[in-house]
Amino acid sequence: AWQKFSAEPFNTKEQFEQEAVRHIETTLARSLYNCDEGAAYGGTALAFRDRMVIDWNRTQQNQTFADQKRVYYLSLEFLMGRALDNAMLNVQQKDSAKAGLADLGFRMEDIINQERDAALGNGGLGRLAACFLDSLASLNYPAWGYGLRYRYGIFKQEIIDGYQVEIPDYWLDFNPWEFPRHDVTVDIQFFGNVRKYVDDSGKQVSVWENGEIVQAVAYDVPIPGYATPTTNNLRLWSSKAASGEFDFQKFNSGEYESSVADQQRAETISAVLYPNDNLERGKELRLKQQYFWCAASLFDIVRRFKKSKKAWKEFPNAVAIQLNDTHPTLAIPELQRILIDQEGLEWDEAWSIVQKTFGYTNHTVLPEALEKWSVPLFQHLLPRHLQIIYDINLHFLQYVERNFPKDREMLGRVSIIEESQPKMVRMAYLALIGSHKVNGVAELHSDLIKTTIFKDFVKIYGPDKFTNVTNGITPRRWLHQANPRLSELIASKLGGYDFLKDLTLLHKLENYVDDKAFRKEFQEIKFANKVRLAKHIKDTNGVSVNPAALFDIQVKRIHEYKRQQLNIFGVIHRYLTIKSMSPEERKKLAPRVSIFGGKAAPGYWMAKTIIHLVNAVGAVVNNDKDVGDLLKCVFVEDYNVSKAEIIVPASDISEHISTAGTEASGTSNMKFVLNGGLIIGTCDGANIEITREIGEENIFLFGNLSEDVEDLRHAHFYSKFEFDPQLQRVFDAIKEGRFGDAGQFSALVNGIVEHGDYYLVSDDFKSYIDTHTLIDEAYKDQESWVSKCITSVARMGFFSSDRCIDEYAEMIWNVEPLSPTKKA
């Protein structure tokens, strides 16, 4: 049994009511007579926040006094979703709150639904960061997250006439989970020039001066751990004009308007999350965001370290910084700059500290996602950093030259500076060179980075610099919170909720695979979850779907490499097949509901075309009398974390069908299986390890392997290839205009027919369709289907983000948990 430090839990509903009502009436200044659901949410959130804050303060104090290494997770994205349910779970007083809210005339579910998602991320990378924060706190690691406090998160998606429309996500009207720290500010410099001189001792000194200053203000968000008092901190920086004489001069000279304009320009830095996923666009504002956040975070980390009065060589024993992809790579030259320009260390000593401090996680091998910044832009915005990067590169290339004197070509290949017009800074190389470990996020991906993008670096540094940490997900949100009935059923068999702290305990469920009562309950829960999703679909799309049908779900960012186009072509194929059948034949078919969801980057036309086609197919199929319940096709608008919590538990089959070798890991695949759904997938990312864990009899794999992709692509250009007739039939139907004007979809079809089919849709189509036929058959045998589902859940223990965090801690960070009970 554990206890929170704050010794005042809501033991009774009256206690909860008293506190919630006090907040409604005082903090929110609302009269109880017009207390709506929004106010009830506010009161509830604030009451729980009070419970967390005491633990938070204690944890921070404890971490300050403990002489122990800390982890800093730098991520430009934290896709947190809602916080209230998570806070209630971790403070463990949800029952009193539920009863208290009922007294006040509210349903807990409605109150939870009042909260807006904190959607400060695009997809997998941002959600992974959120799962990691949950695990770090739950495992008592002394760890902070650092990010940006965007005023606008990922846009809200509306589907209008079948097209995606983006609406700004202004989410901060009421955010009870953040604490502004107006006293924690950092001045951040941009632009200016570098002055060099030799000081009295004969040392070369560089001064970066005459820049423009923007202020970073800290906003702190408490991150409570599960079943532990440890409450870590997520610090998000917000930008603000530096208040200084400059402004006053403008006021005095009557330039009030332009001084306000300066203010707005400064605030623009943290205004909006870039909505691109896996596509780099080289915008100046994005580089500004990256430096602003890295510089503020490093200043903060260094300030904290300096309070300990330790020698600089101790820095890597006190601090581990993890770079979530290359977005925070500027932290590397920034730390080097602080150490040599401000702290007066010699280059080599400083550089050794830098390399020991950082670890770099790569999340993608897609070439268009690899960050590169133009040298002229760098020169303009961060002149001193560019010099430091050149110096890092010089030292590095000299090292390479010494060790590989015969391979002259290598220098150009591995240089941080790409000799293009204009020259470019390759951020992934800088991140790799400045870190002591580089990891991929699933076994296949970690192997691929060593043979493709970082091949030369394996020769240079040896293979030990590279490692794998397969991604994971937090079972607190993705099992207990999203699927409370399944969690409860599991707890009833395993004798409690220990599995939420040690997910490998799920293996004991294998003893219940043949247990009649357990199986029945398991099926009932899945059905109830499908009913819930069917209601959501009815409410938002107006389409009635039969919860007894097989729910086939693909929800994730829309991207050609993820191949939603393969899925929708499969749906069209199914539709055409149904149409060609006699009523007798149709009776033998298993009813299906194909569900899509996900956002397209606003400038990604092909992805938007895919969304449009899904909606166009839905409009035809869902209204065809010949088809009826046999096939429905729906696009769920505005897919986000809280929608995922409804969608994931309702799936029978989910689709993870990327071209082999393109999806670094995938994490929703883990969520779906953990919630008792099966998957159809390619041999890609974490699908491979899921197969290893659950057994190949429990997954539907199809398609070409990553080692064959290159040859297949090549063949598209050099041998005239015939399409599978079934795919041809799909294209013909589109061209005939059966889903509206064919011209709208021509780019999609032509990309495959005429432009090389880069993502191998035609190569994998037959295998995909055949596998879906197997799925239809398998689903008819409900007994064996349920056995597969239960066995799979039992074998998913490996994919907890807790396992993942322990691996990072041991292999990369060299940090230990800090007991929360240790007295400060």
CB of 356 to ligand 26W, least distance (A): 24
Would you state the structure tokens that stand for residue 758, as one six-digit string?
A: 């880069």
List of residues 6+ apart from 804 with CB closer than 8 A: 132, 135, 469, 470, 471, 472
Footprint (CB under 6 A) of ligand 26W, residues 339-398:
363-364, 369, 371
426 near ligand 26W, judged by CB under 6 A: no
**Site for ligand 26W (CB under 6 A): how many residues?**
23
The set of catalytic residues is 363, 556-557, 562, 667, 671
Pairwise CA distance, residues 53 & 177, whole Å: 10
Q: Which stretch binds ligand 26W (CB under 6 A): 183-191, 270-278, 289-297, 769-777?
A: 270-278
Pick the binder of ligand 26W from 637, 663, 689, 763 (CB under 6 A).
663
Helix (H/G/I), strand (E/B), else coil: 436: coil
804 near ligand 26W, judged by CB under 6 A: no
123 near ligand 26W, judged by CB under 6 A: yes
Pick the binder of ligand 26W from 439, 667, 792, 801 (CB under 6 A).
667
Binding mask 461-500 for ligand 26W (x = CB under 6 A): ----------x-----------------------------
607 near ligand 26W, judged by CB under 6 A: no
Cβ atoms of 256 and 166 closer than 8 Å: no
Helix (H/G/I), strand (E/B), else coil: 86: helix
Pairwise CA distance, residues 27 & 20, whole Å: 10
Pairwise CA distance, residues 118 & 145, whole Å: 15
Biggest CA–CA distance in the chain, Å, is: 96
Question: Which residue's beta carbon is nearest to the bound ligand 26W?
Answer: 124
List of residues 6+ apart from 567 with CB closer than 8 A: 554, 594, 596, 655, 657
Pick the binder of ligand 26W from 43, 124, 225, 661 (CB under 6 A).
124
CB of 125 to ligand 26W, least distance (A): 3
CB of 77 to ligand 26W, least distance (A): 7
Would you state the structure tokens that stand for residue 734, as one six-digit string?
A: 């589109």
Cβ atoms of 607 and 601 closer than 8 Å: yes
CB of 611 to ligand 26W, least distance (A): 19
Pairwise CA distance, residues 302 & 306, whole Å: 6
Per DSSP, helices labelled H in 435-515 are 443-451, 455-461, 475, 484-494
The phi and psi torsions of 651 (rounded to 5 degrees) equal -95, 145
Query: Which amino acid is it at 788?
Result: K
The strand ranges marked E within 598-646 are: 631-636
441 near ligand 26W, judged by CB under 6 A: yes
Pairwise CA distance, residues 526 & 547, whole Å: 10
Question: Hey, how many other C-beta atoms are within 10 angstroms of the C-beta on 419?
Answer: 8
Nearer to ligand 26W, 142 or 661 (CB): 661
Which residue matches tokens 């959120």? 130
CB of 520 to ligand 26W, least distance (A): 35
Rg (CA), the chain: 28
Binding mask 671-700 for ligand 26W (x = CB under 6 A): --------------x---------------
Cβ atoms of 663 and 564 closer than 8 Å: no
CB of 289 to ligand 26W, least distance (A): 11
637 near ligand 26W, judged by CB under 6 A: no
Q: Which stretch binds ligand 26W (CB under 6 A): 262-270, 599-607, 665-673, 711-719?
A: 665-673
CB of 451 to ligand 26W, least distance (A): 18
666 near ligand 26W, judged by CB under 6 A: yes
Footprint (CB under 6 A) of ligand 26W, residues 272-311:
276-280
CB of 662 to ligand 26W, least distance (A): 8
Nearer to ligand 26W, 90 or 468 (CB): 468
CA atoms within 13 A on the CB side of 653: 25
The phi and psi torsions of 484 (rounded to 5 degrees) equal -60, -35
Nearer to ligand 26W, 468 or 565 (CB): 468
Footprint of ligand 26W (CB under 6 A): 122-125, 128, 276-280, 325, 363-364, 369, 371, 441, 471, 663-667, 685
